[in-house]
Amino acid sequence: MCSENKEASSRITWEGCSVLLDINDGDRLVFARLSPAAKLKIGNKNCSLKPLIGCPFGTVFQLDSSSDGPFLSPLQPKGNVNNTEEIKDGQLNGEVRDNRSLIDNNTAQSLTGEDIEDMRRQGAKGDEIIEALIANSATFEKKTSFSQEKYRLKKQKKYAPKVLMRRPVARSICEAYFKKYPLKIGFLRVDTLSLLLSMANVSSNSDILVVDMVGGLVTGAVAERLGGTGYVCNTYLGQAPYSMDIVRIFNLSDEICKRILRCSMSDLLSQKESQQQNLLNDESQSNDQMNVLGGIEEISHSSENAISDLGAENTTLPALRACKAAKAGEKASPEVVDSWKENGFSSLIIAAPDVDTWTLVKDLLPLLSNSAPFAIYHQYLQPLATCMHNLQLGKMAIGLQISEPWLREYQVLPSRTHPCMQMSAFGGYILSGTKICSS
Amino acid sequence: MCSENKEASSRITWEGCSVLLDINDGDRLVFARLSPAAKLKIGNKNCSLKPLIGCPFGTVFQLDSSSDGPFLSPLQPKGNVNNTEEIKDGQLNGEVRDNRSLIDNNTAQSLTGEDIEDMRRQGAKGDEIIEALIANSATFEKKTSFSQEKYRLKKQKKYAPKVLMRRPVARSICEAYFKKYPLKIGFLRVDTLSLLLSMANVSSNSDILVVDMVGGLVTGAVAERLGGTGYVCNTYLGQAPYSMDIVRIFNLSDEICKRILRCSMSDLLSQKESQQQNLLNDESQSNDQMNVLGGIEEISHSSENAISDLGAENTTLPALRACKAAKAGEKASPEVVDSWKENGFSSLIIAAPDVDTWTLVKDLLPLLSNSAPFAIYHQYLQPLATCMHNLQLGKMAIGLQISEPWLREYQVLPSRTHPCMQMSAFGGYILSGTKICSS
Amino acid sequence: MLAIDSTRKISFNRSISNGDLVIVYERHDNMKAVTVSEGSVLQNRFGVFKHSDWIGKSFGSKVFSNKGGFVYLLAPTPELWTLVLSHRTQILYIADISFVVMYLEIVTGCVVLESGTGSGSLTTSLARAVAPTGHIYTFDFHEQRAGSARDDFERTGLSSFVSVGVRDIQGEGFPQEFAGLADAVFLDLPQPWLAIPSAAKMLKHDGILCSFSPCIEQVQRSCETVQSNFSDIRTFEVLLRTYEVREEKMESSQVNGNGSNGSLPCKRRQCSGGAGVLTYPTSSVMARPCGEARGHTGYLTFARLK
Amino acid sequence: MLAIDSTRKISFNRSISNGDLVIVYERHDNMKAVTVSEGSVLQNRFGVFKHSDWIGKSFGSKVFSNKGGFVYLLAPTPELWTLVLSHRTQILYIADISFVVMYLEIVTGCVVLESGTGSGSLTTSLARAVAPTGHIYTFDFHEQRAGSARDDFERTGLSSFVSVGVRDIQGEGFPQEFAGLADAVFLDLPQPWLAIPSAAKMLKHDGILCSFSPCIEQVQRSCETVQSNFSDIRTFEVLLRTYEVREEKMESSQVNGNGSNGSLPCKRRQCSGGAGVLTYPTSSVMARPCGEARGHTGYLTFARLK
């Protein structure tokens, strides 16, 4: 969640650092915290994450074997890592050989599983195993070059899996969740998130009010932008704060973590004098504390609807403990709350898929400074339309606009350029505007 | 509206034929009925449409002058007519010359309006005038080649306007209205219209029930597809049929016109025996009859919200009278209505922007044969969502789907290929499904 | 499939007969074409359905299996057929198909040339549009694929409007006998530019060509080739976005600032309060776009013969 | 524009002072940047507004002209600035800008190189993201354009985070002094492939390049060029669709089959009837997409230095 003296922008990993592991070109995405004892299971092999400590982000690791067992070693860059795209579209390449006569069952392969294990024990690299598999395949030569590439890639994924170590920042975290577990982040797409941050003018020294029912993604992204200045006030209805799990995945410095505060909506809306009393409220319902153990979180095809912990919890605890002092999401002190009430928030972001928009906005808008922008995300148009209508009638805001972001990715390859065949057709809707002085 | 023995698919115009005139690459779009006396005003010149009779559709005419005045003469095809696209995007061509130092006022041109009129009287062709203008322009040589092309095009449009004669079919009629007068057709875009026809399985020998509050565009498009077989039943709420003006723009044969019938919703929903009595109803409220005189309709930039008649009504009347017998949209006879009630309609299309969808569907769906498909167009999502929900609850239909067509046009030019910079962002929504037997 | 013989068109009085082609509908994404045959059965995850139970029922009926499971029997249409046909190639779907038919201005009586035939998805809709007086001549390079397509058109009752030829249109062009006779030509070929000169020869004056290509490089090359003989050159992309409809309940909580209340119970839909401010209905039917969609099928380039 | 000096950030207690930059808002599509100057006036179709009336008012205030017309005075933000700046070139808008900042992973403290500066629309958002500890080095070929941009950054208070250089980046590349120092590089150039090798030299390991190009041919060529030194090459297009909101009344007529009734009066919104069937509210707020939209701005190609 936070690191003592490391910068969020550090480009080299450290012990206790959070990383996003991209296994086999996005087939699996795992969030992990690095420690000498942390282990990651790839296929049926358990590998230590220790070799990842002190490496630059962006390094690709390959799973190799030695007599001591499987281990991850950095790959020297040679050619583009993302070669899957090239293969996806091979049939367009003019080549129209027909594979149907080939029966690709196990009899076509003369190497047995045992043979392969033997090779491994003798220290064969993944690439060598793949070459051996190809040499012993009765059908490889007859395949189209497209099918050959596909075969090679399949075997590479199995026998020489690659792990790309990415920096866990708003972009990569949002993309990983959107791909593997979108429900957790309310289907908030990366371009939509980026618009929320712009439209709410998130900038240093600002005090940003957020209603984050998307697991802490918005809170973390705002804190990342504030860079240890200003405040993120994460507010909530009722007495139990919303989960902020995802904030822990960012490598936020202590300085930044301290700027993430919580405050219930009723405390924000109450008069200043009632503040003291609310301090006594029980905070035991915090969802976040229950999940503090999750050191490695996986988002993968196999567990599409659950973040599964990979059994390395205890090894990462020391790292978490080390920064306990600066836990993100402390309750806002009465002094800070009073200063918010006195000055007004700089802007407001709402990402609350299950709460009626107008109900929230009606109460929260008065907490903003005049001329403060706001941006509200929703998956349905109607709540935003109703909210916009009411804001217009109430003359509470100007520059009101409902917009729907639209994102399209392209495959750009020689003679094979076109929009990707699959797309996310929906990134939600945003209502944005600027609060004006009440007349 | 209809032609005696001419086929709708004829590729040569005839006297009395309806045409779509595209003036200067879409700047003006005019629907006209050809007759020896019909005249079209281009700029300040009145030209006879007589030269257009007997020419193939697709012919481009140029406005020339003789001692007898201005006249339209067919252009020999040479190169692409649509050269505007090429020019739109010229600044991308690597050329970055700056035009700001050029003052392009009238002093840069030494030819006066009088000089040009003189040239015209002496029989100069439009192209010759343009060349003269360029030769006498003090600034032309200093312009970028992009600006030179733009200048040339501007002068061509003014001094040598081109008229492309298009066939008025569902595609061209829909596109013309969408571009110049979309309100009249309920913003129904051509791809959306094409989907309605597919989704409602419009095919020969079918009896298609339509609620057409988009000026007759759907009715005409369905009739065009039926090609003189089956029936289009154009139904309406209350006693006054909806306007069917646009049907007259199609060159539908008598055979086809006879297949377009009208029947009020109450007649369709009543018991068979009450049929006779309804025959006595006054039909004088028909909107269509009031508009029978409009022989030439124009949709142009200058009159964006009105179809203006260009004063050639009397000349086109003979043609209209000649086919009066087969006027499209006659009231359906009791026998036909009874046969519809007995057999059920083959499918249903609704394009009624101002009527609640569910109210219509609830009453009309029982008139369809079992297994009949239907397609409902609307500009708002909510009425279709509610209708779909109610159909599901009532187990009245299956295969229900709300879809939104999305259309994007591209500029494809050497080194300058990209989606067009302006697009129609919205083509409406369609609810489609198949009626099932009530259980 | 088409109601050419009007006694066969769907109607309250027409029922399923032995030999009819029916579309068995399980779910919107699970359908199957079945030719009714007195003694046959259909077996699926819902149980065993006897064809003999279907005969005499109306199209659109719900029919039951031995285990009480049910399916619907629908009359075939080109749209349903596109969802059930065997994919011998990538096929065109309804958005592209509808646009092509409209934009090629295909109506009753038209003569249309097509290559390749592929799985016959577009061909079926072309045939519907030209019937009963027009004709589709469709060509495929693959003998076997052409044969399968022919069988399909037989099965769907379209064979009198469709002729399938085996021919390498890229290499040989369309047969000379069609020169100047085609109202429209449709190309779905890897190198359409090779066939465009021949297509130009086949078309009537003012006739329209359409070429479908997945990649922009194919479009660029085709557009270059059509420049010489065609006008009105336009390239489009057509897609469909679908929506899901749900009855949603929203938490419509009120914060009164007393620091102790949590979520209030949901309010029922309320009519407008004072000052025209609308309270959003807390339980209502709402639609939103489905998340994943086909992001691209191909580019459609149209051009009109000069 | 930025609240670097926290006494200048918007707050209930901060009011407009002489010398402040304000955005004068007439309508969402009609705004103007004005620097408040005690003795000046603003004249528009609503009348004459005295700046002296504005001083001491809160940002977000409605102010009146001599004729009783009014405008709102807003605090400047990069988003509002993008809507009011002088267009010296085609500019980037909010959808592309937001995506670029996020996808280049730009946060406080980053060093970012940009070329061309153009009208400074993107630069303003880049500066917001790196402030207060990072810096933007932006280069434009045109001396005059660079000068105007410098003036703009002075006016918007960003000059301590942005340095504008005059340089032909396609021809000369970025200055050597930045080699290995850039967290991100952004290119908006007619021939980006010429600048890519230099961009690669400037980037830190794992740093990200983005190139914006309107035409696909530029993208094809750039993608070829980045192959050698970059991984994670991805090309996107980002657009925004806007919606219009209206209170709509629908005719909700009932046909009873008696042949004589016309339209019944509209029913008011009804709560669910029997069997859960919903009657559609006949008067309600509804949203639909606006008809015309920007159909394309450009392609964004991202690549990560290996």
Q: What is the pLDDT of residues D39-68, one digit of tens each?
A: 999 999 999 999 999 999 999 999 999 999
Q: Is the dihedral of CA B138, B141, B147, B151 positive or negative?
A: positive
pLDDT at B105: 52
Q: Give the amino acid at A75.
A: L
Q: Please choose, from the candidates D107, B346, B119, B167, the residue with its C-alpha nearest in 3D space to the C-alpha of residue A167.
A: D107
pLDDT at B308: 30
Residues A190/A427, Cβ–Cβ less than 8 Å:
no
Q: Please choose, from the candidates A171, A148, A161, A151, the residue with its C-alpha nearest in 3D space to the C-alpha of residue A57.
A: A171
Do B394 and D293 count as a contact with CB atoms less than 8 A apart? Answer: no
Choose among C58, C125, C236: nearest Cβ to B370. C58
In this prediction, residue A143 has a pLDDT band, given cuts at 50, 70 and 90, of: confident
Question: In A, which residues are within 8 Å of C277 by CB distance?
Answer: 390, 393-394
Q: Give the amino acid at B120.
A: R
User: Which of D 232-251 lie inside 8 A of B, CB atoms?
Assistant: 237, 241, 248, 250-251
Chain B's closest residue to D277, CA to CA, is B390
Q: What is the CA radius of gyration of chain A?
A: 25
Choose among A8, A11, A201: nearest Cβ to D206. A11
Question: From CA A173, how far away is CA A185, in angstroms rounded?
Answer: 10
> CA of B439: how far to CAs of B65, B361, B370, C58, C62, in Å?
73, 18, 12, 12, 8
**Three-state secondary structure call for residue A407:** strand
Q: What value does the mean pLDDT of chain A take? A: 81
Do D269 and C268 count as a contact with CB atoms less than 8 A apart? Answer: no
pLDDT at A107: 63
Given a cut of 70, whether residue B322 has pLDDT beyond it is: no
The Cα angle at residue A363 between residues A358 and A364, in degrees rounded to 5:
95
pLDDT at A10: 81
pLDDT at C259: 35
User: With respect to CATH, is domain D6-76 assigned 3.30.1360.120?
Assistant: no
Quote the ipTM score.
0.88
Over the stretch A395-427, which tens digit does the pLDDT of each residue have?
999 999 999 999 999 999 999 999 999 889 899
Question: In D, which residues are within 8 Å of B363 by CB distance?
Answer: 254-255
pLDDT at B318: 32
Question: In B, which residues are within 8 Å of C105 by CB distance?
Answer: 167, 169-171
Question: From CA C118, how far away is CA C124, in angstroms rounded?
Answer: 11
Residues C132/C107, Cβ–Cβ less than 8 Å:
no
Count of Cβ atoms closer than 10 Å to residue D171 Cβ: 10
Question: In B, which residues are within 8 Å of C238 by CB distance?
Answer: 191, 405-408
* Complete DSSP assignment for A118-174: HHHHTT--HHHHHHHHHHTBSSGGGS-HHHHHHHHHHHHHHHS-EEEEE---HHHHH
pLDDT at A145: 77
Q: Give the amino acid at A250.
A: F
Do D262 and B381 count as a contact with CB atoms less than 8 A apart? Answer: no
Residue A301 CB burial class (10 angstroms; 0-12, 13-18, ≥19): exposed
Question: In B, which residues are within 8 Å of D279 by CB distance?
Answer: 358, 386
Overall size of chain B counted in residues:
439
Choose among A224, A344, A384: nearest Cβ to D11. A344
Q: Is D253 one of the annotated binding-site residues?
A: no
In this prediction, residue A137 has a pLDDT band, given cuts at 50, 70 and 90, of: confident
DSSP structural state of residue D168? -
Residues A173/A220, Cβ–Cβ less than 8 Å:
yes
User: Considering the domain B173-301+317-435 in this protein, what is its CATH number?
Assistant: 3.40.50.150
Gap from C248 CA to chain D (nearest CA, Å): 13
Comparing A165 with C264, the larger pLDDT belongs to A165
User: With respect to CATH, is domain C80-239+296-305 assigned 3.30.70.260?
Assistant: no
pLDDT at C202: 98
The count of C-alpha atoms lying within 13 angstroms of the C-alpha of A152, restricted to the half-sphere facing its C-beta, is 16
pLDDT at A302: 34
> CA of D168: how far to CAs of A128, D113, D120, D139, in Å?
48, 13, 17, 8
Do D292 and B423 count as a contact with CB atoms less than 8 A apart? Answer: yes
Question: From CA D185, how far away is CA A246, in angstroms rounded?
Answer: 28
Structural domain boundaries of chain C?
A: 6-76, 80-239+296-305
Question: In C, which residues are within 8 Å of B193 by CB distance?
Answer: 102
In this prediction, residue C252 has a pLDDT band, given cuts at 50, 70 and 90, of: low
CA A70 to chain centre: 28
Do C98 and B198 count as a contact with CB atoms less than 8 A apart? Answer: yes
User: Which of C 76-105 lie inside 8 A of D, CB atoms?
Assistant: none
Q: How much is the average pLDDT of A248-274?
A: 89
Question: From CA A378, how far away is CA A186, in angstroms rounded?
Answer: 9
Question: Residue D67: enclosing H or E segment and its boundaries?
Answer: none
pLDDT at C270: 35
Non-local (6+) Cβ contacts of D181 within 8 A are: D111, D202, D204
Do A169 and D227 count as a contact with CB atoms less than 8 A apart? Answer: no
Q: How much is the average pLDDT of B411-425?
A: 94
Chain A's closest residue to D246, CA to CA, is A389
User: With respect to CATH, is domain A171-295+313-435 assigned 3.40.50.2300?
Assistant: no
Structural domain boundaries of chain B?
A: 84-162, 173-301+317-435
Q: Is D140 one of the annotated binding-site residues?
A: yes
Count of Cβ atoms closer than 10 Å to residue C110 Cβ: 23
| Phi/psi at B394 (5° precision) | -85, 0
Q: How much is the average pLDDT of C229-249?
A: 93
Q: Does D271 touch chain C (CB under 8 A)?
A: yes
Chain C's closest residue to B60, CA to CA, is C306
Q: What value does the mean pLDDT of chain C take? A: 89
Q: Give the amino acid at B255.
A: E
Non-local (6+) Cβ contacts of B67 within 8 A are: B121, B123
Q: Work out whether strand C135-140 and strand C61-64 pair parallel, antiparallel, or are unpaired.
A: unpaired
Count of Cβ atoms closer than 10 Å to residue A202 Cβ: 27
Q: Please choose, from the candidates C16, C5, C22, C12, the residue with its C-alpha nearest in 3D space to the C-alpha of residue C75.
A: C22
Interface test with D, best of C213, C216, C280, C299 (most D CBs within 10 A): C216
Question: pTM of this prediction?
Answer: 0.88
Residue B295 corresponds to which tokens in the numbers above? 């022989």
Residue C54 corresponds to which tokens in the numbers above? 């279907």
Question: Residue A384: enclosing H or E segment and its boundaries?
Answer: helix A381-393
Residue A29 corresponds to which tokens in the numbers above? 């995405």
Comparing A258 with A122, the larger pLDDT belongs to A258
As annotated, the binding site of C for S-adenosyl-L-methionine includes 119-122, 140, 168, 188
Over the stretch C158-200, which tens digit does the pLDDT of each residue have?
999 999 999 999 999 999 999 999 999 999 999 999 999 999 9
Gap from B238 CA to chain D (nearest CA, Å): 4
Least confident of B14-23, B57-66, D105-114, D165-174: B57-66
Q: Please choose, from the candidates C239, B193, D257, C306, the residue with its C-alpha nearest in 3D space to the C-alpha of residue A419.
A: C239
Q: Is D122 one of the annotated binding-site residues?
A: yes
Over the stretch D235-283, which tens digit does the pLDDT of each residue have?
999 999 999 999 877 665 544 443 333 333 333 333 333 344 554 444 5
Residue ranges for chain D with pLDDT beneath 50: 254-276, 279-282
Interface test with D, best of C213, C215, C236, C269 (most D CBs within 10 A): C269
Residues B16/B315, Cβ–Cβ less than 8 Å:
no
Question: From CA A244, how far away is CA A230, in angstroms rounded?
Answer: 19
| Phi/psi at A421 (5° precision) | -70, -30
Comparing D237 with A128, the larger pLDDT belongs to D237
CA dihedral (C91, C97, C103, C106) in degrees, to 10, reads 100
pLDDT at D270: 35
Residue A14 CB burial class (10 angstroms; 0-12, 13-18, ≥19): middle
Q: Does C293 touch chain A (CB under 8 A)?
A: yes
